Amino acid sequence: MAGAPLHDQNLAGGWRACEGSGELVKEFAAVGFDDRDWIEAAVPGHWRSTPTLEASDGPVLYRCRFSSAPVAAGRRRFVILDGVFYYGDVWFDGTYLGATEGYFTPHAFEATEMLCVPGEHVLAVEVACPPQADKTAKRLVTGVFSQWDNLDPDWNPGGLWRSVHVIETGPVRIARRRVVCTEATAEHGRLVVDVTLDYSGDSGDSGDSGAGARTGAVTEVREPDRSVASERRARISISVLGPSGSLLVQSPKDVTLAAGANHLSIPVEVDSPPRWWPRRFGDQPICEVSVTVEVDGEVSDGFTTRTAFREVRLDQWTFYVNGERIFVMGSNHGPTRMALAEASSEELRRDVELAVEANLDMLRVHGHVTRPELYDAADEAGLLLWQDFPLQWGYARSVRKSALRQAREMVDLLGHHPSIVIWCAHNEPLAVDIQPGEPMSTGKMMKTGARVAASMFLPSWNKDVLDRSVARSIGKADPSRPVDRSSGLLPGPASGGTDAHLYYGWYWGSMGGLAGALRAFPRLARFVTEFGAQAVPTTADWMEPERWPDLDWDRLFERHALQTEYLDRYVPRAEHSTFESWRDATQAYQAALIQLQIEDLRRLKYSPTGGFAHFCFGDGHQAVTWSVLDHERVAKQGYYALRDACRPVLGMLDPRDGSVHVVSELRESLPSALVRVDVDGSERCFEGEIEADAVTYIGRVDVEVAHAASVTVSHPSLSPIRNTYAPTLLGEGRR
């Protein structure tokens, strides 16, 4: 394939591992070290998936023996580690290459000198992912993997979780790359291709060791060495193929390179580009961008990536894609599996398919960077993505420098995906220090609440220094997309707030209380990115339901996220004689809350609400959470409520005052539509026009003591759309 590495040796097998301690850490990297007693380890993988390391917090030592043909004259070889979770120290044939930090970004180390020697070689890596003792001052940029309600707090994701391989290039290597679409009108499109070309210098051309084993992350390469007497001419060629394989543009450029890093930013212009649309608006033509670097007429390095032409704008929390306004309906999505390396490509793609089947426009990749398969599937499906940088809750000041570097690397890694329409620098930069299973006295709760309130409304280092710096770094790397500095900040005296997290009917109040809060404080309604309630999953044998009511409640709270204190407020355990009755009641409550609160938000479409992201979509392990799909992707009742509440055309009945509205996401109006409202068997009919991309008020009916109701919208261009209201929703919604 054009632009593919000339040599790519995948080191997927032959790995051995051992927990690091004492003198072993000093000795294990030696070529002659005897590792026959070490256990076999899966790479890519997490060390806790290996039985003897299933309780380890590391560090863990990895070794791999492999053979490779010698490097030819004028060629270079690099060890690429696509994902080290989280710190790594790397040795090759006993020589220390360098250190890595950051779980989602690739790291490259030059090993040309060692690979000039034929025969067997040894790659050794020490991997560390230390638990964060002080949750208000974390030091790892790992987002939800270090602290989150929806994952097992005892889980450690450490390991070589992505592929390790050896690639070969000529004297010039593409050390870092970024492809971003900055313009996509009907008449004109522009891609900006940023690359760093690493030239080895004259000594590298001869095939000897030259500069030795140059090391560093992919985005951290040597600055140009102007002391080298000779420079090198090279040609960089960029071609863009349309979705049918037709050549849209080919752009060759001759450059002069000095030894070291040479940074280039190359705009690529295309007339009348094929434009990518969200799934409700049109097609998703994907283009292929190939970049090659030639030296002396031979390909030295190259890459191929897929991207698309589209523009995105955010105005007062309303999204515009290619100039078209869209009311965004979405959900938050955590890791497809807690052991993310073990999620299959089919599982990652299936999550996108399930989101589309639920009528969603967007998934928020919550607090983490996930695997490439999910982004590719979203591109192809026209599903928008809100991409979080992996910062969640509180961090130490020492994290800032690494966070800024990793923020730029996130854009390098993901910037070409048209599905990503917004970046978020930090989710809830608050002082959250409650440990799962920790007894919560009244004094502890008041102290924690005061700290959270202070970090919400008063200046703080996380919110005002770290978040601003990270958002600025992301925005500078990618000026084509909006950046949300801090998710979940309520409006306060010193801030207008950001997107809102509003858990009415769970952490406070009733499910029907959300509408009143939004009327009283309209700024809360601009974009709501978290709301929901927990429900017991259908696949629940792991909870030992046969023990009802004497389940291991402490274990379920500490390891599986079940918040019994809050669930008992709305679905008391004492009212249910069987586990199945309790489980079904929790699901009915979750479904009712989702339906009512989505309808409350859709009634405020564009006035002032630009959209929402329900919390949350799918579980990554066995848990009782806010998700509507369990860890095996068996749907709860809430999934169907989410699907039905997000239908493009929906008749809505407010259980508090009986007002009837129809909301439409269609681009054309529906003249002479018929709306039938049935309340406890008594039907009323309304006829008129349903406005396009708007909320249409229909009328009012009496629901004061209603036990069941439905609203049906009929039109010749549509199949009848019936929206039903269960007793749980009517009763709870009136509170």
Q: Mean per-residue pLDDT for 343-369? A: 98
Q: Give the residues across from 95 on adjacent strands.
A: 92
pLDDT for res 183: 97
Nearest in space to 706 (alpha carbons), one of 658, 637, 644, 651: 658
Q: Mean per-residue pLDDT for 152-180? A: 96
Task: Read off the pLDDT of residues 413-441 as tens digits, 9 standing for 90 and up.
Answer: 999 999 999 999 999 998 766 554 454 44
Give the chain's radius of gyration (CA, Å): 28
What is the enclosing helix (H) or strand (E) of 428? none
Burial bucket for residue 19 (CB in 10 Å: 0-12, 13-18, 19+): middle
What is the CATH architecture of 659-733? Sandwich (2.60)
Task: Read off the pLDDT of residues 172-229 as tens digits, 9 standing for 90 and up.
Answer: 999 999 999 999 999 999 999 999 999 987 544 433 333 334 434 443 444 444 444 4
State the amino acid at position 183 in one-letter form: E
Three-state DSSP class for residue 282: coil
Which residues touch 242 (CB under 8 Å, ≥6 apart)?
248, 274, 285, 287
Mean of per-residue pLDDT scores for the chain: 92
Task: Read off the pLDDT of residues 331-342 as tens digits, 9 standing for 90 and up.
Answer: 999 999 999 999
Instruction: Kindly give the residue spans of alpha helices, DSSP state H, lying in 270-419.
Output: 345-357, 372-381, 400-414
pLDDT exceeds 80 at position 707: yes
Domain ranges of the chain: 313-648, 659-733
The DSSP result for 220-257, as a single string, is --PPPBTTSS--EEEEEEEEEE-TTS-EEEEEEEEEEE
The number of residues in the chain equals 735
Task: Read off the pLDDT of residues 525-581 as tens digits, 9 standing for 90 and up.
Answer: 999 999 999 999 999 999 999 999 999 999 999 999 999 999 999 999 999 999 999
Q: Which residue has the tokens 């599905």?
A: 419
pLDDT for res 351: 98
Inter-CA distances, 37 with 34, 124, 687, Å: 8, 16, 79
pLDDT for res 198: 95
Whole-model pTM: value is 0.93
pLDDT exceeds 50 at position 159: yes
User: Measured between alpha carbons, how far is 199 from 205 in angstroms, rounded to an integer?
Assistant: 10
Inter-CA distances, 658 with 171, 335, 481, 512, 599, Å: 73, 40, 41, 13, 13
Tokens read off for 358: 């639920």
Whether the Cβ atoms of residue 566 and residue 572 lie closer than 8 Å to each other: no
Q: Which residue has the tokens 């523009």?
A: 311
pLDDT for res 439: 46
User: Measured between alpha carbons, how far is 526 from 529 in angstroms, rounded to an integer?
Assistant: 10
pLDDT for res 705: 87
Of the listed ranges 2-16, 144-158, 381-395, 612-626, the least confidently predicted one is 2-16
Whether the Cβ atoms of residue 365 and residue 380 lie closer than 8 Å to each other: no
* Cβ neighbours, 10 Å, residue 439: 6
pLDDT for res 217: 43
pLDDT exceeds 90 at position 686: yes
Whether the Cβ atoms of residue 193 and residue 266 lie closer than 8 Å to each other: yes
Residue 646 main-chain phi, psi, to 5 deg: -105, 15
Per-residue HEC secondary structure of 659-701 comes to EEEEEECCCCCEEEEEEEEEECCEEEEEEEEECCCEEEEEEEC
Q: Mean per-residue pLDDT for 365-388? A: 98
Q: Which residue has the tokens 């996509």?
A: 184
Q: Among residues of the chain, what percentage have pLDDT more than 70?
A: 92
Superfamily of domain 313-648: Glycosidases (3.20.20.80)
Task: Read off the pLDDT of residues 575-621 as tens digits, 9 standing for 90 and up.
Answer: 999 999 999 999 999 999 999 999 999 999 999 999 999 999 999 99
Q: Among residues of the chain, what percentage have pLDDT more than 90?
A: 85
